[in-house]
Amino acid sequence: VPGIVGLGEAAEIAGKEMRQEYSHVKKLRDELENKIKDNIDYIRFNGHPRERLPNTSNVSFEFIEGESLLLNLDLKGIAASTGSACASGSLEPSHA
């Protein structure tokens, strides 16, 4: 019984920390997207504006080659991709 009580307490603490982390990461994502929107023309944010993961931004840049963008982001230490993970390495468009 003490183990079950301890597990319940641990789950409660973990849930609280996850909610705090979710809010923090969402705030960082929103700040990033606002900076992009305010400084770059011809962009589009893809997906639902509110119902989405807090740690993911999906952005389309018109008139910019994806590979060139990736190379420049990589040189600055920024992780990015031009497609979904399920299409990694494929030349065909993703179903996702």
Residue 74 falls in the annotated catalytic set: no
The closest alpha carbon to 44, from 23, 58, 30, 60, belongs to 60
- Only one residue has tokens 């319940």, namely 8
DSSP 93: P
Give the position of tokens 């019984």.
1
Q: Which of 86, 89, 91, 92 is catalytic?
A: 86
Residues belonging to the active site: 86
